Homo-oligomer: A and B are copies of this chain.
Amino acid sequence: MRAGTETKGERTRRRIVDEAAALLNVRGYHAATLEELMAATGLRKGGIYNHFDSREDLVLAAYDRNVGVVAALLRSAFAEHRGAPERLHAFVEVYQRFVHEPPFPGGCPTLNGALQSRGTEPRLTERVRGVVHELLDDTVARIVRGGLRRGELRDGTDPDGVASVFVSSIEGALLLTELLGDATHIDHVAAHLHDYIDSIATSEELR
Known: A112-B118, A158-B188. A179 touches B128 (CB 8 A): yes
Number of copies: 4
B168 touches A173 (CB 8 A): yes
Question: Which of B28, B116, B175 makes the CB contact (< 8 A) with A172?
Answer: B175
* Given A168-B168, A168-B169, A168-B173, 10 further pairs, Cβ under 8 A: A112-B118, A115-B115, A132-B180, A164-B184, A165-B192, A168-B170, A168-B175, A169-B169, A170-B172, A171-B176
B176 touches A175 (CB 8 A): no
Interface residues of A in 136-176 (CB under 8 A from B): 136, 158, 160-161, 164-165, 167-173, 175-176
CB distance from A84 to the nearest CB of B (A): 18
B191 touches A119 (CB 8 A): no
Question: Which of B120, B133, B158, B171 makes the CB contact (< 8 A) with A175?
Answer: B171
B172 touches A114 (CB 8 A): no
B173 touches A164 (CB 8 A): yes
Cα distance, A120 to B116, chains bound together (Å): 11
A118 touches B28 (CB 8 A): yes
Q: Provide the residues of chain B in CB contact with A129, threshold 8 Å.
A: 179-180
Interface residues of A in 166-207 (CB under 8 A from B): 167-173, 175-176, 179-180, 184-185, 188-189, 191-192, 196
Question: Which of B118, B125, B164, B176 makes the CB contact (< 8 A) with A116?
Answer: B118
When C-beta atoms are compared, the residue in chain B nearest to A107 turns out to be: B118
Q: Is A27 an interface residue (CB 8 A)?
A: yes
Q: Is A34 an interface residue (CB 8 A)?
A: no
A119 touches B171 (CB 8 A): no
Cα distance, A173 to B175, chains bound together (Å): 12
Q: Is A31 an interface residue (CB 8 A)?
A: yes
